[in-house]
Chain A
Amino acid sequence: MIQLEGISKEYRSGRGRVLALSDVSFNIEKTSTVSVFGKSGSGKTTLLYCIGGLERPENGTVTCFGVDIHSLSEKALCLFQRKNVGFVFQHGNLFTYLTVFENIAFSLELNGFERNAIVNRVGELLEGIGLSDAGAAFPYELSGGEVQRVSVARAIAHSPQVLLADEPTASLDSETGRDLVKLMFNMGHEQGCTMIITTHDPDIIKLADVRLPIQDGKIEPEDK
Protein backbone atom coordinates (compact mmCIF):
# COMPACT_ATOMS: atom_id res chain seq x y z
CA MET A 1 0.00 0.00 0.00
CA ILE A 2 1.05 3.59 -0.69
CA GLN A 3 0.02 6.06 1.99
CA LEU A 4 0.26 9.83 1.74
CA GLU A 5 -0.41 11.83 4.89
CA GLY A 6 -0.57 15.59 5.01
CA ILE A 7 1.78 16.19 2.09
CA SER A 8 2.58 19.84 1.39
CA LYS A 9 5.05 21.23 -1.09
CA GLU A 10 5.90 24.82 -1.85
CA TYR A 11 8.02 26.40 -4.55
CA ARG A 12 9.66 29.73 -4.73
CA SER A 13 9.58 31.33 -8.14
CA GLY A 14 9.60 34.75 -9.74
CA ARG A 15 5.91 34.95 -8.90
CA GLY A 16 6.63 34.41 -5.19
CA ARG A 17 5.72 31.32 -3.18
CA VAL A 18 3.60 28.78 -5.02
CA LEU A 19 1.78 26.11 -3.06
CA ALA A 20 2.05 23.05 -5.32
CA LEU A 21 0.54 20.56 -2.86
CA SER A 22 -1.51 21.36 0.19
CA ASP A 23 -2.17 18.81 2.90
CA VAL A 24 -2.65 15.91 0.51
CA SER A 25 -3.62 12.58 2.06
CA PHE A 26 -4.81 9.38 0.45
CA ASN A 27 -4.08 5.65 0.29
CA ILE A 28 -3.50 3.51 -2.78
CA GLU A 29 -3.99 -0.23 -2.58
CA LYS A 30 -1.36 -2.51 -3.96
CA THR A 31 -1.68 -3.35 -7.70
CA SER A 32 -4.39 -0.79 -8.27
CA THR A 33 -4.25 1.70 -11.13
CA VAL A 34 -4.69 5.37 -10.32
CA SER A 35 -5.20 8.33 -12.59
CA VAL A 36 -4.39 11.78 -11.29
CA PHE A 37 -5.93 14.50 -13.41
CA GLY A 38 -6.30 18.22 -13.33
CA LYS A 39 -5.34 21.41 -15.11
CA SER A 40 -1.78 22.35 -15.88
CA GLY A 41 -0.06 23.61 -12.73
CA SER A 42 -2.55 21.85 -10.46
CA GLY A 43 0.23 19.82 -8.82
CA LYS A 44 -0.02 16.48 -10.67
CA THR A 45 3.68 16.15 -11.47
CA THR A 46 4.74 17.34 -8.01
CA LEU A 47 2.49 14.72 -6.44
CA LEU A 48 3.99 12.03 -8.66
CA TYR A 49 7.54 13.17 -7.85
CA CYS A 50 6.77 13.14 -4.11
CA ILE A 51 5.49 9.56 -4.36
CA GLY A 52 8.50 8.54 -6.43
CA GLY A 53 10.98 10.19 -4.06
CA LEU A 54 12.21 12.75 -6.59
CA GLU A 55 10.80 15.60 -4.56
CA ARG A 56 10.91 15.95 -0.77
CA PRO A 57 7.71 17.45 0.67
CA GLU A 58 7.99 20.14 3.33
CA ASN A 59 5.37 18.43 5.46
CA GLY A 60 3.79 15.01 5.66
CA THR A 61 4.93 11.49 4.96
CA VAL A 62 4.90 9.15 1.97
CA THR A 63 4.92 5.51 2.95
CA CYS A 64 5.54 3.11 0.10
CA PHE A 65 4.99 -0.51 1.05
CA GLY A 66 5.88 0.16 4.66
CA VAL A 67 8.86 2.46 4.02
CA ASP A 68 8.67 6.15 4.92
CA ILE A 69 10.68 7.10 1.83
CA HIS A 70 11.47 10.68 2.76
CA SER A 71 13.03 9.62 6.05
CA LEU A 72 15.65 7.66 4.06
CA SER A 73 19.13 9.00 3.43
CA GLU A 74 19.86 10.22 -0.10
CA LYS A 75 21.69 7.03 -1.01
CA ALA A 76 19.06 4.76 0.57
CA LEU A 77 16.32 6.65 -1.28
CA CYS A 78 18.20 6.20 -4.58
CA LEU A 79 18.51 2.47 -3.93
CA PHE A 80 14.83 2.29 -3.00
CA GLN A 81 13.88 4.06 -6.26
CA ARG A 82 16.19 1.84 -8.26
CA LYS A 83 14.55 -1.33 -6.99
CA ASN A 84 10.94 -0.32 -6.39
CA VAL A 85 10.03 2.54 -8.71
CA GLY A 86 9.65 2.75 -12.48
CA PHE A 87 9.14 6.07 -14.27
CA VAL A 88 7.53 6.78 -17.64
CA PHE A 89 8.02 10.35 -18.79
CA GLN A 90 6.06 12.64 -21.04
CA HIS A 91 8.41 12.34 -24.03
CA GLY A 92 9.79 8.91 -23.39
CA ASN A 93 13.17 10.29 -22.40
CA LEU A 94 15.12 7.32 -23.63
CA PHE A 95 18.91 7.50 -23.61
CA THR A 96 19.68 8.71 -27.13
CA TYR A 97 23.07 6.98 -27.31
CA LEU A 98 21.71 3.56 -26.31
CA THR A 99 19.76 1.17 -28.50
CA VAL A 100 16.26 0.04 -27.61
CA PHE A 101 17.72 -3.15 -26.13
CA GLU A 102 20.30 -1.25 -24.10
CA ASN A 103 17.71 1.25 -22.88
CA ILE A 104 15.52 -1.52 -21.50
CA ALA A 105 18.53 -3.40 -20.14
CA PHE A 106 19.75 -0.27 -18.30
CA SER A 107 17.46 -0.66 -15.28
CA LEU A 108 18.14 -4.39 -15.20
CA GLU A 109 21.91 -3.90 -15.17
CA LEU A 110 21.50 -1.21 -12.56
CA ASN A 111 19.66 -3.74 -10.41
CA GLY A 112 22.39 -6.33 -10.81
CA PHE A 113 20.61 -8.82 -13.10
CA GLU A 114 22.80 -11.48 -14.73
CA ARG A 115 23.54 -11.21 -18.45
CA ASN A 116 21.38 -14.20 -19.46
CA ALA A 117 18.46 -12.98 -17.38
CA ILE A 118 18.79 -9.56 -19.00
CA VAL A 119 18.76 -10.97 -22.52
CA ASN A 120 15.69 -13.11 -21.76
CA ARG A 121 13.83 -10.37 -19.95
CA VAL A 122 14.49 -7.71 -22.62
CA GLY A 123 13.45 -10.17 -25.35
CA GLU A 124 10.24 -10.92 -23.47
CA LEU A 125 9.48 -7.20 -22.99
CA LEU A 126 10.24 -6.34 -26.62
CA GLU A 127 7.80 -9.02 -27.66
CA GLY A 128 5.28 -7.67 -25.16
CA ILE A 129 5.43 -4.18 -26.65
CA GLY A 130 5.44 -5.50 -30.20
CA LEU A 131 8.95 -4.33 -31.04
CA SER A 132 10.82 -7.65 -31.21
CA ASP A 133 12.69 -6.51 -34.30
CA ALA A 134 13.67 -3.09 -32.93
CA GLY A 135 16.23 -4.13 -30.31
CA ALA A 136 19.15 -2.73 -32.27
CA ALA A 137 17.39 0.48 -33.26
CA PHE A 138 18.21 3.84 -31.72
CA PRO A 139 15.45 6.03 -30.23
CA TYR A 140 15.65 8.49 -33.13
CA GLU A 141 14.65 5.67 -35.48
CA LEU A 142 11.35 5.08 -33.66
CA SER A 143 7.98 6.78 -33.86
CA GLY A 144 6.58 8.67 -30.84
CA GLY A 145 4.32 5.78 -29.88
CA GLU A 146 7.16 3.27 -30.17
CA VAL A 147 9.40 5.44 -28.00
CA GLN A 148 6.72 5.52 -25.30
CA ARG A 149 6.26 1.75 -25.50
CA VAL A 150 10.00 1.26 -25.03
CA SER A 151 9.83 3.73 -22.16
CA VAL A 152 7.12 1.60 -20.51
CA ALA A 153 9.19 -1.54 -21.06
CA ARG A 154 12.23 0.13 -19.49
CA ALA A 155 10.20 1.32 -16.50
CA ILE A 156 8.70 -2.08 -15.88
CA ALA A 157 11.72 -4.25 -16.76
CA HIS A 158 13.06 -4.70 -13.21
CA SER A 159 9.54 -5.46 -11.86
CA PRO A 160 9.17 -2.42 -9.62
CA GLN A 161 6.42 -2.23 -7.00
CA VAL A 162 5.18 1.09 -8.28
CA LEU A 163 5.04 2.48 -11.80
CA LEU A 164 4.68 6.24 -12.14
CA ALA A 165 3.77 7.78 -15.48
CA ASP A 166 3.83 11.51 -15.95
CA GLU A 167 1.50 12.37 -18.84
CA PRO A 168 2.92 9.58 -21.01
CA THR A 169 0.35 10.19 -23.74
CA ALA A 170 0.84 13.96 -24.01
CA SER A 171 2.85 13.71 -27.21
CA LEU A 172 0.66 11.00 -28.80
CA ASP A 173 -2.66 11.01 -30.64
CA SER A 174 -5.66 9.80 -28.62
CA GLU A 175 -5.80 6.31 -30.05
CA THR A 176 -2.10 5.64 -29.70
CA GLY A 177 -2.25 7.12 -26.21
CA ARG A 178 -5.09 4.86 -25.14
CA ASP A 179 -3.34 1.80 -26.59
CA LEU A 180 -0.17 2.74 -24.73
CA VAL A 181 -1.96 3.10 -21.39
CA LYS A 182 -3.80 -0.17 -21.91
CA LEU A 183 -0.49 -1.85 -22.67
CA MET A 184 1.08 -0.26 -19.62
CA PHE A 185 -1.77 -1.32 -17.34
CA ASN A 186 -1.73 -4.86 -18.73
CA MET A 187 2.00 -5.24 -18.31
CA GLY A 188 1.86 -3.60 -14.89
CA HIS A 189 -0.84 -5.98 -13.73
CA GLU A 190 1.19 -8.96 -14.93
CA GLN A 191 4.10 -7.68 -12.82
CA GLY A 192 1.91 -6.89 -9.82
CA CYS A 193 2.70 -3.15 -10.03
CA THR A 194 0.80 -0.33 -8.47
CA MET A 195 0.38 2.23 -11.22
CA ILE A 196 -0.17 5.96 -10.97
CA ILE A 197 -0.64 8.02 -14.09
CA THR A 198 -1.15 11.74 -14.55
CA THR A 199 -3.16 12.79 -17.56
CA HIS A 200 -5.57 15.26 -19.13
CA ASP A 201 -7.24 12.69 -21.37
CA PRO A 202 -10.77 11.76 -20.14
CA ASP A 203 -10.63 8.39 -21.89
CA ILE A 204 -7.44 7.46 -20.11
CA ILE A 205 -8.75 8.72 -16.77
CA LYS A 206 -11.55 6.22 -17.10
CA LEU A 207 -9.19 3.30 -17.64
CA ALA A 208 -7.85 3.56 -14.05
CA ASP A 209 -9.35 1.83 -11.00
CA VAL A 210 -9.02 4.96 -8.92
CA ARG A 211 -9.41 8.54 -10.14
CA LEU A 212 -7.91 11.42 -8.21
CA PRO A 213 -8.84 14.89 -9.40
CA ILE A 214 -6.39 17.53 -8.26
CA GLN A 215 -6.92 21.28 -8.18
CA ASP A 216 -4.62 23.96 -6.74
CA GLY A 217 -2.58 21.30 -5.00
CA LYS A 218 -5.53 19.68 -3.25
CA ILE A 219 -7.08 16.29 -3.95
CA GLU A 220 -10.82 16.33 -4.44
CA PRO A 221 -12.83 13.47 -2.89
CA GLU A 222 -12.10 10.17 -4.62
CA ASP A 223 -14.49 9.41 -7.44
CA LYS A 224 -14.61 5.81 -8.38
Chain B
Amino acid sequence: MRYLKFWIKIAFLFLSRSVRSTVVLSLMVIIAVSVLIFLSALAIGVNDAMIRNSIGLYSGHISVDFLPHSLNPENLKINGVAGVLKRNPIPGILSNEDHVATITMIAVNPVAESKHTAIWKKAIKGRYIQNGENSIFLSSMLAKQLGVQTGGMLQFHPAISEKSVTLTVSGIYKTEIDYLDRGIAFCPFEILPVKTTTWRAAIFLKNGIDPGQIIRRYRQLLPKSLGFKSWKETMPDLLQLINLNYVSMSIVMVLVFGVVSVGIACAFVIFIFKNFREYGIMKAMGVTPREIACLIVIEVIMMNLFASIVGILGGFLAVLIASRTGIDLTYFTSHNRYFVVSGIIYPRLTFYSLYLPPILAFFFSMVSATWPAGLVARKKAADILRSI
Protein backbone atom coordinates (compact mmCIF):
# COMPACT_ATOMS: atom_id res chain seq x y z
CA MET B 1 0.00 0.00 0.00
CA ARG B 2 2.83 2.34 0.98
CA TYR B 3 4.66 1.56 -2.29
CA LEU B 4 1.45 2.01 -4.27
CA LYS B 5 1.07 5.48 -2.74
CA PHE B 6 4.67 6.23 -3.71
CA TRP B 7 4.12 5.17 -7.34
CA ILE B 8 0.85 7.08 -7.49
CA LYS B 9 2.71 10.18 -6.29
CA ILE B 10 5.49 9.70 -8.86
CA ALA B 11 2.94 9.13 -11.65
CA PHE B 12 1.03 12.24 -10.61
CA LEU B 13 4.18 14.37 -10.53
CA PHE B 14 5.26 12.95 -13.86
CA LEU B 15 1.93 13.81 -15.53
CA SER B 16 1.32 17.13 -13.81
CA ARG B 17 4.82 18.42 -14.50
CA SER B 18 4.93 17.22 -18.09
CA VAL B 19 1.89 19.35 -18.83
CA ARG B 20 2.36 19.70 -22.57
CA SER B 21 2.79 16.02 -23.32
CA THR B 22 0.03 15.07 -20.89
CA VAL B 23 -2.42 17.51 -22.47
CA VAL B 24 -1.54 16.49 -26.03
CA LEU B 25 -1.92 12.82 -25.17
CA SER B 26 -5.12 13.42 -23.23
CA LEU B 27 -6.60 15.52 -25.99
CA MET B 28 -7.30 12.49 -28.16
CA VAL B 29 -9.15 10.75 -25.34
CA ILE B 30 -10.99 13.94 -24.34
CA ILE B 31 -12.23 14.54 -27.88
CA ALA B 32 -13.15 10.89 -28.44
CA VAL B 33 -15.08 10.71 -25.14
CA SER B 34 -16.88 14.02 -25.70
CA VAL B 35 -17.84 13.25 -29.27
CA LEU B 36 -19.03 9.77 -28.45
CA ILE B 37 -21.04 10.93 -25.45
CA PHE B 38 -22.75 13.44 -27.70
CA LEU B 39 -23.27 10.91 -30.49
CA SER B 40 -24.67 8.27 -28.17
CA ALA B 41 -26.91 10.87 -26.48
CA LEU B 42 -28.07 11.79 -29.97
CA ALA B 43 -28.76 8.12 -30.72
CA ILE B 44 -30.81 7.92 -27.51
CA GLY B 45 -32.57 11.12 -28.61
CA VAL B 46 -33.38 9.57 -31.99
CA ASN B 47 -34.78 6.49 -30.25
CA ASP B 48 -36.81 8.71 -27.91
CA ALA B 49 -38.15 10.69 -30.85
CA MET B 50 -39.18 7.53 -32.68
CA ILE B 51 -40.96 6.19 -29.59
CA ARG B 52 -42.53 9.59 -28.83
CA ASN B 53 -43.72 9.95 -32.40
CA SER B 54 -44.99 6.40 -32.69
CA ILE B 55 -46.87 6.21 -29.43
CA GLY B 56 -47.79 9.87 -29.25
CA LEU B 57 -49.58 9.94 -32.55
CA TYR B 58 -52.33 7.60 -31.52
CA SER B 59 -51.56 4.28 -29.83
CA GLY B 60 -50.09 5.19 -26.43
CA HIS B 61 -47.46 3.25 -24.50
CA ILE B 62 -49.88 0.50 -23.56
CA SER B 63 -53.04 -0.62 -25.32
CA VAL B 64 -55.79 -2.98 -24.22
CA ASP B 65 -58.91 -4.21 -26.01
CA PHE B 66 -62.20 -5.64 -24.79
CA LEU B 67 -62.37 -3.78 -21.50
CA PRO B 68 -65.79 -4.21 -19.82
CA HIS B 69 -67.81 -1.05 -19.17
CA SER B 70 -67.67 -1.97 -15.47
CA LEU B 71 -64.14 -0.58 -15.65
CA ASN B 72 -63.62 3.06 -16.43
CA PRO B 73 -60.49 5.05 -17.37
CA GLU B 74 -60.04 6.14 -13.75
CA ASN B 75 -59.48 2.50 -12.74
CA LEU B 76 -56.45 2.39 -15.03
CA LYS B 77 -54.93 5.63 -13.75
CA ILE B 78 -52.28 4.28 -11.42
CA ASN B 79 -49.00 5.87 -10.38
CA GLY B 80 -46.84 6.47 -13.46
CA VAL B 81 -49.79 6.82 -15.85
CA ALA B 82 -50.22 10.26 -17.44
CA GLY B 83 -53.54 9.59 -19.13
CA VAL B 84 -55.99 6.91 -20.23
CA LEU B 85 -57.99 7.39 -23.41
CA LYS B 86 -61.27 5.55 -23.85
CA ARG B 87 -62.09 4.50 -27.41
CA ASN B 88 -65.10 2.63 -28.79
CA PRO B 89 -64.37 0.91 -32.08
CA ILE B 90 -67.54 0.27 -34.13
CA PRO B 91 -67.35 -1.47 -37.49
CA GLY B 92 -69.72 -0.19 -40.18
CA ILE B 93 -70.18 1.32 -43.62
CA LEU B 94 -69.50 4.90 -44.52
CA SER B 95 -71.27 6.18 -47.58
CA ASN B 96 -71.53 9.30 -49.71
CA GLU B 97 -74.24 8.76 -52.35
CA ASP B 98 -72.67 6.07 -54.62
CA HIS B 99 -69.40 5.91 -52.79
CA VAL B 100 -69.13 3.30 -50.03
CA ALA B 101 -66.32 2.22 -47.72
CA THR B 102 -66.12 -0.39 -44.97
CA ILE B 103 -64.47 1.16 -41.94
CA THR B 104 -63.99 0.99 -38.21
CA MET B 105 -65.37 4.13 -36.63
CA ILE B 106 -63.49 5.04 -33.47
CA ALA B 107 -65.64 6.98 -31.06
CA VAL B 108 -63.47 9.15 -28.86
CA ASN B 109 -63.41 12.03 -26.41
CA PRO B 110 -61.91 14.79 -28.65
CA VAL B 111 -60.68 16.90 -25.72
CA ALA B 112 -58.82 14.03 -24.08
CA GLU B 113 -57.47 12.82 -27.46
CA SER B 114 -56.15 16.31 -28.26
CA LYS B 115 -54.39 16.40 -24.92
CA HIS B 116 -52.52 13.09 -25.22
CA THR B 117 -52.25 12.31 -28.93
CA ALA B 118 -51.03 14.22 -31.96
CA ILE B 119 -53.32 12.84 -34.64
CA TRP B 120 -55.21 16.16 -34.73
CA LYS B 121 -51.94 17.80 -35.78
CA LYS B 122 -51.93 15.67 -38.90
CA ALA B 123 -55.01 17.45 -40.35
CA ILE B 124 -54.24 18.57 -43.86
CA LYS B 125 -57.65 20.10 -44.36
CA GLY B 126 -60.18 21.42 -41.84
CA ARG B 127 -59.81 20.61 -38.15
CA TYR B 128 -60.19 17.88 -35.56
CA ILE B 129 -63.63 16.85 -34.24
CA GLN B 130 -65.17 18.54 -31.22
CA ASN B 131 -67.48 17.36 -28.45
CA GLY B 132 -71.19 17.76 -29.13
CA GLU B 133 -71.01 18.02 -32.91
CA ASN B 134 -71.96 15.37 -35.49
CA SER B 135 -68.59 15.41 -37.12
CA ILE B 136 -66.09 12.96 -38.51
CA PHE B 137 -62.28 13.15 -38.91
CA LEU B 138 -61.06 10.84 -41.64
CA SER B 139 -57.95 10.09 -43.65
CA SER B 140 -57.28 11.67 -47.01
CA MET B 141 -57.30 8.21 -48.57
CA LEU B 142 -60.79 7.54 -47.23
CA ALA B 143 -61.98 11.03 -48.21
CA LYS B 144 -60.77 10.43 -51.74
CA GLN B 145 -62.41 6.99 -51.85
CA LEU B 146 -65.70 8.52 -50.70
CA GLY B 147 -65.35 11.63 -52.87
CA VAL B 148 -65.83 14.02 -49.96
CA GLN B 149 -64.20 17.24 -48.79
CA THR B 150 -64.33 19.09 -45.46
CA GLY B 151 -67.86 20.30 -44.77
CA GLY B 152 -69.26 17.44 -46.83
CA MET B 153 -71.88 15.00 -45.46
CA LEU B 154 -71.45 11.25 -44.90
CA GLN B 155 -73.77 8.49 -43.70
CA PHE B 156 -72.46 5.98 -41.17
CA HIS B 157 -74.27 2.61 -40.91
CA PRO B 158 -73.02 0.67 -37.86
CA ALA B 159 -72.82 -3.08 -38.49
CA ILE B 160 -74.56 -3.85 -35.22
CA SER B 161 -77.47 -1.40 -35.51
CA GLU B 162 -80.28 -0.53 -37.87
CA LYS B 163 -79.86 3.16 -37.12
CA SER B 164 -77.56 5.28 -39.22
CA VAL B 165 -76.15 8.69 -38.49
CA THR B 166 -75.26 11.67 -40.67
CA LEU B 167 -71.86 13.21 -40.09
CA THR B 168 -70.16 16.35 -41.35
CA VAL B 169 -66.51 16.07 -42.34
CA SER B 170 -64.68 18.39 -39.94
CA GLY B 171 -61.17 17.51 -41.08
CA ILE B 172 -59.05 15.29 -43.29
CA TYR B 173 -55.72 13.92 -42.07
CA LYS B 174 -52.74 12.13 -43.49
CA THR B 175 -50.27 10.20 -41.30
CA GLU B 176 -48.45 8.00 -43.85
CA ILE B 177 -49.11 5.15 -41.44
CA ASP B 178 -51.10 2.37 -43.07
CA TYR B 179 -53.39 1.32 -40.24
CA LEU B 180 -54.38 4.95 -39.55
CA ASP B 181 -54.73 5.97 -43.18
CA ARG B 182 -56.86 3.01 -44.30
CA GLY B 183 -60.36 2.05 -43.12
CA ILE B 184 -60.49 4.15 -39.96
CA ALA B 185 -62.26 7.36 -38.95
CA PHE B 186 -62.98 9.25 -35.75
CA CYS B 187 -66.13 10.76 -34.26
CA PRO B 188 -67.19 12.02 -30.79
CA PHE B 189 -68.71 9.44 -28.38
CA GLU B 190 -72.12 11.03 -27.96
CA ILE B 191 -73.22 10.93 -31.60
CA LEU B 192 -72.93 7.15 -31.92
CA PRO B 193 -76.31 5.46 -32.26
CA VAL B 194 -75.10 2.18 -30.69
CA LYS B 195 -73.66 1.19 -27.36
CA THR B 196 -70.74 -1.26 -27.40
CA THR B 197 -70.23 -3.99 -24.78
CA THR B 198 -66.51 -3.39 -24.45
CA TRP B 199 -64.08 -0.53 -24.99
CA ARG B 200 -60.48 -0.04 -25.92
CA ALA B 201 -57.91 1.93 -23.92
CA ALA B 202 -54.78 3.76 -24.96
CA ILE B 203 -52.59 4.37 -21.92
CA PHE B 204 -49.98 7.14 -21.88
CA LEU B 205 -47.18 7.00 -19.32
CA LYS B 206 -45.16 9.68 -17.60
CA ASN B 207 -41.58 10.26 -18.81
CA GLY B 208 -39.13 7.50 -18.02
CA ILE B 209 -41.74 4.98 -16.86
CA ASP B 210 -41.26 1.45 -18.13
CA PRO B 211 -44.46 0.03 -19.72
CA GLY B 212 -43.55 -3.45 -18.46
CA GLN B 213 -43.64 -2.22 -14.88
CA ILE B 214 -47.13 -0.71 -15.33
CA ILE B 215 -48.43 -3.85 -17.04
CA ARG B 216 -47.19 -5.93 -14.10
CA ARG B 217 -49.08 -3.63 -11.74
CA TYR B 218 -52.28 -3.94 -13.86
CA ARG B 219 -51.96 -7.72 -13.77
CA GLN B 220 -51.86 -7.58 -9.97
CA LEU B 221 -54.81 -5.17 -9.71
CA LEU B 222 -57.10 -6.19 -12.58
CA PRO B 223 -58.47 -9.46 -14.00
CA LYS B 224 -55.68 -11.53 -15.52
CA SER B 225 -57.73 -12.11 -18.69
CA LEU B 226 -57.21 -8.51 -19.85
CA GLY B 227 -54.61 -8.41 -22.60
CA PHE B 228 -52.42 -5.38 -21.90
CA LYS B 229 -49.82 -4.85 -24.59
CA SER B 230 -46.88 -2.48 -24.47
CA TRP B 231 -45.70 -0.61 -27.56
CA LYS B 232 -42.86 -3.12 -27.70
CA GLU B 233 -45.42 -5.84 -28.53
CA THR B 234 -47.66 -3.78 -30.77
CA MET B 235 -44.77 -2.17 -32.65
CA PRO B 236 -42.07 -4.86 -32.96
CA ASP B 237 -40.65 -3.04 -35.98
CA LEU B 238 -39.96 0.03 -33.84
CA LEU B 239 -38.39 -2.08 -31.11
CA GLN B 240 -36.16 -3.75 -33.66
CA LEU B 241 -35.14 -0.39 -35.08
CA ILE B 242 -34.27 0.92 -31.63
CA ASN B 243 -32.22 -2.16 -30.81
CA LEU B 244 -30.51 -1.84 -34.16
CA ASN B 245 -29.70 1.76 -33.33
CA TYR B 246 -28.12 0.69 -30.02
CA VAL B 247 -26.12 -2.06 -31.69
CA SER B 248 -24.86 0.19 -34.48
CA MET B 249 -23.98 2.95 -32.02
CA SER B 250 -22.05 0.48 -29.84
CA ILE B 251 -20.21 -0.78 -32.92
CA VAL B 252 -19.36 2.81 -33.87
CA MET B 253 -18.03 3.44 -30.35
CA VAL B 254 -15.89 0.30 -30.35
CA LEU B 255 -14.57 1.13 -33.82
CA VAL B 256 -13.84 4.76 -32.95
CA PHE B 257 -11.98 3.72 -29.83
CA GLY B 258 -10.26 0.93 -31.74
CA VAL B 259 -8.86 3.58 -34.08
CA VAL B 260 -8.23 6.07 -31.27
CA SER B 261 -6.45 3.39 -29.24
CA VAL B 262 -3.95 2.85 -32.06
CA GLY B 263 -3.29 6.60 -31.95
CA ILE B 264 -3.05 6.48 -28.17
CA ALA B 265 -0.69 3.49 -28.32
CA CYS B 266 1.59 5.29 -30.81
CA ALA B 267 1.49 8.53 -28.82
CA PHE B 268 2.17 6.56 -25.67
CA VAL B 269 5.16 4.83 -27.15
CA ILE B 270 6.58 8.23 -28.13
CA PHE B 271 5.68 9.55 -24.67
CA ILE B 272 7.46 6.63 -23.01
CA PHE B 273 10.47 6.72 -25.33
CA LYS B 274 10.79 10.40 -24.54
CA ASN B 275 11.22 9.35 -20.91
CA PHE B 276 13.01 6.11 -21.66
CA ARG B 277 16.19 7.34 -19.97
CA GLU B 278 14.34 7.94 -16.71
CA TYR B 279 12.88 4.44 -16.67
CA GLY B 280 16.46 3.16 -17.23
CA ILE B 281 17.71 5.17 -14.25
CA MET B 282 14.91 3.78 -12.13
CA LYS B 283 15.90 0.27 -13.13
CA ALA B 284 19.52 1.03 -12.19
CA MET B 285 18.24 2.20 -8.81
CA GLY B 286 16.63 -1.18 -8.22
CA VAL B 287 13.08 -0.58 -9.40
CA THR B 288 11.66 -3.94 -10.52
CA PRO B 289 10.15 -4.47 -14.00
CA ARG B 290 6.82 -5.04 -12.29
CA GLU B 291 7.03 -1.68 -10.53
CA ILE B 292 7.95 0.03 -13.82
CA ALA B 293 4.93 -1.57 -15.52
CA CYS B 294 2.80 -0.59 -12.51
CA LEU B 295 4.03 3.02 -12.79
CA ILE B 296 3.15 3.17 -16.49
CA VAL B 297 -0.27 1.64 -15.83
CA ILE B 298 -0.91 4.19 -13.06
CA GLU B 299 0.11 6.97 -15.44
CA VAL B 300 -2.34 5.63 -18.05
CA ILE B 301 -5.13 5.34 -15.47
CA MET B 302 -4.51 8.88 -14.18
CA MET B 303 -4.28 10.35 -17.65
CA ASN B 304 -7.49 8.57 -18.63
CA LEU B 305 -9.24 9.63 -15.49
CA PHE B 306 -8.37 13.24 -16.20
CA ALA B 307 -9.22 12.93 -19.91
CA SER B 308 -12.46 11.10 -19.17
CA ILE B 309 -13.62 13.67 -16.62
CA VAL B 310 -12.91 16.52 -19.05
CA GLY B 311 -14.42 14.48 -21.90
CA ILE B 312 -17.56 13.73 -19.87
CA LEU B 313 -17.91 17.41 -18.98
CA GLY B 314 -17.45 18.39 -22.63
CA GLY B 315 -19.97 15.82 -23.83
CA PHE B 316 -22.37 16.72 -21.02
CA LEU B 317 -22.23 20.41 -21.90
CA ALA B 318 -22.75 19.71 -25.61
CA VAL B 319 -25.78 17.53 -24.80
CA LEU B 320 -27.13 20.13 -22.37
CA ILE B 321 -26.95 22.86 -25.01
CA ALA B 322 -28.41 20.69 -27.78
CA SER B 323 -31.19 19.31 -25.60
CA ARG B 324 -32.48 22.78 -24.71
CA THR B 325 -33.53 23.62 -28.24
CA GLY B 326 -33.39 20.18 -29.81
CA ILE B 327 -31.89 19.40 -33.18
CA ASP B 328 -34.41 19.85 -35.96
CA LEU B 329 -34.01 17.03 -38.46
CA THR B 330 -37.47 17.48 -39.99
CA TYR B 331 -35.97 17.90 -43.44
CA PHE B 332 -34.48 14.43 -43.22
CA THR B 333 -37.43 12.75 -41.50
CA SER B 334 -40.52 14.26 -43.14
CA HIS B 335 -41.34 11.05 -45.07
CA ASN B 336 -40.44 8.73 -42.23
CA ARG B 337 -43.28 7.05 -40.35
CA TYR B 338 -41.29 7.03 -37.11
CA PHE B 339 -41.04 10.82 -37.15
CA VAL B 340 -44.62 11.44 -38.16
CA VAL B 341 -45.32 14.11 -35.54
CA SER B 342 -41.99 15.87 -35.14
CA GLY B 343 -38.46 15.57 -36.49
CA ILE B 344 -36.87 17.38 -33.56
CA ILE B 345 -34.32 15.29 -31.70
CA TYR B 346 -33.52 15.97 -28.06
CA PRO B 347 -30.19 14.31 -27.16
CA ARG B 348 -30.49 12.57 -23.79
CA LEU B 349 -27.87 11.28 -21.40
CA THR B 350 -28.30 7.81 -20.00
CA PHE B 351 -25.95 5.36 -18.32
CA TYR B 352 -25.25 4.01 -21.81
CA SER B 353 -24.46 7.36 -23.36
CA LEU B 354 -22.59 8.88 -20.41
CA TYR B 355 -20.49 6.00 -19.16
CA LEU B 356 -19.89 3.68 -22.07
CA PRO B 357 -17.50 6.07 -23.89
CA PRO B 358 -15.19 6.65 -20.86
CA ILE B 359 -15.31 2.93 -19.99
CA LEU B 360 -14.28 2.10 -23.55
CA ALA B 361 -11.63 4.83 -23.49
CA PHE B 362 -10.22 3.35 -20.30
CA PHE B 363 -10.27 -0.20 -21.65
CA PHE B 364 -8.62 0.70 -24.94
CA SER B 365 -6.04 2.97 -23.28
CA MET B 366 -5.07 0.14 -20.94
CA VAL B 367 -4.73 -2.18 -23.90
CA SER B 368 -2.71 0.41 -25.80
CA ALA B 369 -0.41 1.01 -22.79
CA THR B 370 0.40 -2.69 -22.50
CA TRP B 371 2.81 -2.57 -25.42
CA PRO B 372 5.03 0.32 -24.19
CA ALA B 373 4.78 -0.87 -20.58
CA GLY B 374 5.95 -4.34 -21.60
CA LEU B 375 8.66 -2.82 -23.76
CA VAL B 376 10.14 -0.79 -20.90
CA ALA B 377 9.69 -3.53 -18.30
CA ARG B 378 11.50 -6.10 -20.47
CA LYS B 379 14.35 -3.87 -21.56
CA LYS B 380 17.57 -4.24 -19.52
CA ALA B 381 18.73 -1.15 -17.60
CA ALA B 382 22.19 -1.40 -19.17
CA ASP B 383 20.68 -1.38 -22.67
CA ILE B 384 18.55 1.66 -21.86
CA LEU B 385 21.47 3.54 -20.31
CA ARG B 386 23.72 2.72 -23.26
CA SER B 387 21.10 3.84 -25.78
CA ILE B 388 20.81 7.36 -24.33
Contacts and interface: CB of A to CB of B under 8 A. Distances in A.
Query: Are the chains A and B members of one assembly?
Result: yes
Determine chain B's interface SS by DSSP, over half rule.
helix
Of the four ranges (under 10, 10 to 19, 20 to 34, 35 or more), the interface on chain B belongs to: 20 to 34
Nearest to A102: B13
A176 interface: no
A102 B281 CA distance: 15
Contacts of B6: 109-110
B381 A96 contact: no
A124 B368 CA distance: 43
A4 to B, nearest CB: 17
Q: Name the residue in B14, B277, B380, B381 with the highest tally of chain A Cβ atoms < 10 Å from its Cβ.
A: B381
B288 interface: yes
A137 interface: no
A75 interface: yes
Contacts, number: 61
A81 interface: yes
B380 A54 contact: yes
Nearest to A92: B281
Contacts of B287: 78, 82, 110
A55 interface: yes
Nearest to A138: B17
Contacts of B382: 49, 54-55
B284 A78 contact: no
B168 to A, nearest CB: 84
B4 to A, nearest CB: 12
Contact of A81 (B277, B286, B386): B286
B2 A81 contact: no
A97 B14 contact: yes
Contact of B286 (A45, A95, A110): A110
Interface string B282-305: 011111111000000000000000
A30 interface: no
B79 interface: no
Contacts of A89: 281, 284, 385
B18 interface: yes
Given A96-B278, A97-B13, A110-B6, A54 B381 contact: yes
22 contacts: A54-B283, A54-B380, A54-B381, A54-B385, A75-B288, A78-B289, A79-B286, A82-B287, A83-B286, A87-B281, A89-B281, A89-B385, A93-B277, A93-B278, A95-B281, A97-B14, A97-B18, A102-B13, A106-B10, A107-B285, A110-B285, A110-B286
